[in-house]
Amino acid sequence: MFRDLARTLLHESTILARLDEIAARITDDYRGKDLTVIAVLNGSFMFMGDLLRRIPLPLRVDCVSVASYHGGTESSGRVTFDQISLPDVAGRHALILDDILDSGLTLEAVAAKLGGLGALSVKTCVLLRKRKERTVAIDADYVGFDIGDEFVVGYGLDFQEKYRNLPCIAVLHPDVIRAGLDAPAGASPEEVPSPS
Protein backbone atom coordinates (compact mmCIF):
# COMPACT_ATOMS: atom_id res chain seq x y z
CA MET A 1 0.00 0.00 0.00
CA PHE A 2 2.75 2.49 0.94
CA ARG A 3 4.69 1.93 -2.28
CA ASP A 4 1.68 3.32 -4.20
CA LEU A 5 2.26 6.73 -2.61
CA ALA A 6 4.18 9.45 -4.45
CA ARG A 7 4.39 11.78 -1.44
CA THR A 8 3.08 12.19 2.10
CA LEU A 9 1.37 15.52 2.66
CA LEU A 10 0.41 15.22 6.33
CA HIS A 11 1.84 12.77 8.82
CA GLU A 12 -0.37 11.27 11.50
CA SER A 13 1.31 13.26 14.28
CA THR A 14 0.68 16.52 12.40
CA ILE A 15 -2.98 15.64 11.90
CA LEU A 16 -3.49 14.70 15.55
CA ALA A 17 -1.79 17.87 16.83
CA ARG A 18 -4.15 19.95 14.70
CA LEU A 19 -7.16 17.96 15.95
CA ASP A 20 -6.21 18.94 19.51
CA GLU A 21 -6.58 22.60 18.49
CA ILE A 22 -9.86 22.21 16.57
CA ALA A 23 -11.38 20.08 19.33
CA ALA A 24 -10.53 22.74 21.91
CA ARG A 25 -12.30 25.40 19.83
CA ILE A 26 -15.38 23.22 19.28
CA THR A 27 -15.50 22.40 22.99
CA ASP A 28 -15.49 26.12 23.85
CA ASP A 29 -18.04 27.03 21.19
CA TYR A 30 -20.60 24.33 22.11
CA ARG A 31 -20.27 24.18 25.90
CA GLY A 32 -23.78 24.14 27.42
CA LYS A 33 -25.48 23.59 24.05
CA ASP A 34 -27.29 20.52 22.71
CA LEU A 35 -24.89 19.38 20.01
CA THR A 36 -25.32 16.65 17.42
CA VAL A 37 -22.29 15.88 15.29
CA ILE A 38 -23.16 14.49 11.88
CA ALA A 39 -20.30 12.73 10.12
CA VAL A 40 -20.38 12.33 6.38
CA LEU A 41 -19.42 8.74 5.65
CA ASN A 42 -17.35 7.01 4.49
CA GLY A 43 -14.51 9.50 4.17
CA SER A 44 -14.76 11.08 7.62
CA PHE A 45 -14.80 7.95 9.78
CA MET A 46 -11.20 8.29 11.00
CA PHE A 47 -11.43 12.06 11.40
CA MET A 48 -14.65 11.58 13.39
CA GLY A 49 -13.09 9.03 15.76
CA ASP A 50 -9.95 11.04 16.45
CA LEU A 51 -11.70 14.42 16.72
CA LEU A 52 -14.64 13.38 18.87
CA ARG A 53 -12.57 11.61 21.50
CA ARG A 54 -10.92 15.00 22.08
CA ILE A 55 -14.23 16.80 22.76
CA PRO A 56 -15.39 16.18 26.35
CA LEU A 57 -19.00 17.33 25.80
CA PRO A 58 -22.22 15.25 26.09
CA LEU A 59 -22.79 15.37 22.35
CA ARG A 60 -24.73 13.00 20.12
CA VAL A 61 -23.25 11.42 17.00
CA ASP A 62 -25.03 10.52 13.80
CA CYS A 63 -23.90 9.73 10.29
CA VAL A 64 -25.09 10.40 6.79
CA SER A 65 -23.81 8.50 3.82
CA VAL A 66 -23.30 10.37 0.58
CA ALA A 67 -21.24 9.89 -2.55
CA SER A 68 -20.17 12.32 -5.25
CA TYR A 69 -17.07 10.77 -6.79
CA HIS A 70 -18.41 7.45 -8.10
CA GLY A 71 -14.96 5.89 -8.65
CA GLY A 72 -13.02 8.70 -10.34
CA THR A 73 -10.76 11.47 -9.06
CA GLU A 74 -13.13 14.36 -9.87
CA SER A 75 -16.49 15.13 -8.28
CA SER A 76 -19.30 13.93 -10.52
CA GLY A 77 -21.36 16.96 -9.56
CA ARG A 78 -24.10 14.63 -8.29
CA VAL A 79 -24.51 14.16 -4.54
CA THR A 80 -26.37 10.97 -3.66
CA PHE A 81 -27.74 10.30 -0.15
CA ASP A 82 -27.51 6.57 0.63
CA GLN A 83 -29.40 6.77 3.90
CA ILE A 84 -33.14 6.61 4.20
CA SER A 85 -33.47 7.77 7.81
CA LEU A 86 -32.00 11.21 8.42
CA PRO A 87 -30.56 12.39 11.77
CA ASP A 88 -32.95 13.88 14.31
CA VAL A 89 -31.51 17.37 14.80
CA ALA A 90 -34.73 19.26 15.57
CA GLY A 91 -34.07 21.74 18.39
CA ARG A 92 -30.35 20.89 18.47
CA HIS A 93 -27.16 22.44 17.12
CA ALA A 94 -25.77 20.45 14.19
CA LEU A 95 -22.09 20.25 13.34
CA ILE A 96 -21.32 18.47 10.07
CA LEU A 97 -17.95 16.72 9.80
CA ASP A 98 -16.49 15.94 6.42
CA ASP A 99 -13.07 14.81 5.27
CA ILE A 100 -12.50 17.44 2.59
CA LEU A 101 -14.05 20.55 1.09
CA ASP A 102 -13.57 20.36 -2.66
CA SER A 103 -16.34 21.59 -4.97
CA GLY A 104 -18.53 22.31 -1.93
CA LEU A 105 -21.47 20.34 -3.32
CA THR A 106 -21.45 17.70 -0.57
CA LEU A 107 -21.34 20.11 2.36
CA GLU A 108 -23.97 22.31 0.80
CA ALA A 109 -26.31 19.37 0.16
CA VAL A 110 -25.91 18.01 3.71
CA ALA A 111 -26.26 21.46 5.32
CA ALA A 112 -29.43 22.11 3.31
CA LYS A 113 -30.89 18.74 4.38
CA LEU A 114 -30.19 19.40 8.07
CA GLY A 115 -31.43 22.98 7.88
CA GLY A 116 -34.73 21.61 6.66
CA LEU A 117 -34.95 19.26 9.66
CA GLY A 118 -35.26 22.04 12.26
CA ALA A 119 -31.68 22.31 13.55
CA LEU A 120 -31.08 25.42 15.72
CA SER A 121 -27.82 26.03 13.87
CA VAL A 122 -25.80 24.20 11.23
CA LYS A 123 -22.01 24.54 11.13
CA THR A 124 -19.37 22.61 9.25
CA CYS A 125 -15.96 21.18 10.05
CA VAL A 126 -13.56 19.69 7.50
CA LEU A 127 -10.15 18.15 7.94
CA LEU A 128 -8.94 19.42 4.56
CA ARG A 129 -9.89 22.36 2.37
CA LYS A 130 -8.64 22.53 -1.22
CA ARG A 131 -7.34 25.86 -2.45
CA LYS A 132 -9.54 26.28 -5.50
CA GLU A 133 -12.68 27.94 -6.75
CA ARG A 134 -15.80 26.12 -5.48
CA THR A 135 -18.79 25.15 -7.56
CA VAL A 136 -21.04 26.49 -4.79
CA ALA A 137 -20.34 29.38 -2.42
CA ILE A 138 -19.78 27.53 0.85
CA ASP A 139 -16.92 27.61 3.34
CA ALA A 140 -16.31 25.51 6.45
CA ASP A 141 -16.48 26.94 9.98
CA TYR A 142 -13.62 24.76 11.25
CA VAL A 143 -10.76 23.71 8.95
CA GLY A 144 -7.84 21.39 9.67
CA PHE A 145 -5.51 22.15 6.78
CA ASP A 146 -5.56 24.03 3.50
CA ILE A 147 -4.04 21.93 0.72
CA GLY A 148 -3.36 22.36 -3.00
CA ASP A 149 -5.85 21.28 -5.63
CA GLU A 150 -4.71 17.68 -6.02
CA PHE A 151 -6.26 14.30 -5.35
CA VAL A 152 -5.31 12.91 -1.94
CA VAL A 153 -5.89 9.61 -0.13
CA GLY A 154 -5.55 8.23 3.36
CA TYR A 155 -6.91 8.89 6.83
CA GLY A 156 -10.40 7.95 5.58
CA LEU A 157 -10.07 9.21 2.01
CA ASP A 158 -10.11 6.58 -0.73
CA PHE A 159 -9.25 5.94 -4.31
CA GLN A 160 -11.69 3.34 -5.58
CA GLU A 161 -12.31 2.30 -1.93
CA LYS A 162 -8.60 1.65 -1.22
CA TYR A 163 -6.18 3.57 1.06
CA ARG A 164 -8.81 4.66 3.63
CA ASN A 165 -6.80 2.95 6.38
CA LEU A 166 -3.57 4.86 5.73
CA PRO A 167 -2.67 6.78 8.91
CA CYS A 168 -1.45 9.79 6.89
CA ILE A 169 -2.72 11.97 4.01
CA ALA A 170 -0.82 11.31 0.81
CA VAL A 171 -0.73 11.78 -2.95
CA LEU A 172 -0.83 8.65 -5.08
CA HIS A 173 1.63 7.80 -7.79
CA PRO A 174 0.13 8.95 -11.13
CA ASP A 175 0.69 5.40 -12.49
CA VAL A 176 -1.52 3.98 -9.74
CA ILE A 177 -4.33 6.39 -10.59
CA ARG A 178 -3.95 5.71 -14.30
CA ALA A 179 -4.03 1.95 -13.77
CA GLY A 180 -7.09 2.28 -11.52
CA LEU A 181 -8.98 4.44 -13.99
CA ASP A 182 -8.06 2.14 -16.89
CA ALA A 183 -9.15 -1.02 -15.05
CA PRO A 184 -12.38 -2.56 -16.34
CA ALA A 185 -15.45 -1.58 -14.32
CA GLY A 186 -16.00 -4.00 -11.45
CA ALA A 187 -12.38 -5.15 -11.30
CA SER A 188 -11.29 -5.68 -7.71
CA PRO A 189 -8.37 -3.56 -6.45
CA GLU A 190 -6.16 -6.67 -6.42
CA GLU A 191 -6.53 -6.90 -10.19
CA VAL A 192 -5.17 -3.39 -10.68
CA PRO A 193 -1.45 -3.64 -11.40
CA SER A 194 0.84 -1.58 -9.18
CA PRO A 195 3.77 0.31 -10.72
CA SER A 196 7.05 -1.51 -10.35
Residues 2-41 that bind ligand 5GP (CB under 6 A): 40
Contacts with 167 (C-beta within 8 Å, 6 or more apart), sequence order: 12, 154, 155
Per-residue contact string for residues 94-123; x = within reach of ligand 5GP by CB under 6 A: ----xxxxxxxxx-----------------
Q: Residue 169 Cβ, how far from Mg ion at the closest point, in Å?
A: 14
**Which of ligand 5GP, Mg ion, none interacts with 152 (beta carbon under 5 to 8 A by kind)?**
ligand 5GP
Q: Are 157 and 43 in contact (CB under 8 A)?
A: yes
DSSP state at residue 195 = P
Q: How many residues bind ligand 5GP (CB under 6 A)?
A: 20
Give CA–CA dist 31/34, Å, rounded: 9
**Which of Mg ion, ligand 5GP, none interacts with 68 (beta carbon under 5 to 8 A by kind)?**
ligand 5GP
- Does 104 contact Mg ion by CB under 5 A? no
Q: Which is nearer to ligand 5GP, 80 or 194 (CB)?
A: 80
CA 117 to chain centre: 22
For the chain, strand residue ranges (E) read: 5-10, 35-41, 60-67, 80-81, 93-101, 121-130, 142-147, 152-153, 169-172
Active site residue 102: yes
Q: Residue 34 Cβ, how far from ligand 5GP at the closest point, in Å?
A: 26
Q: Are 119 and 93 in contact (CB under 8 A)?
A: yes
Residue numbers at the binding site for ligand 5GP (CB under 6 A): 40, 43, 68-69, 75, 98-106, 151-153, 157-159
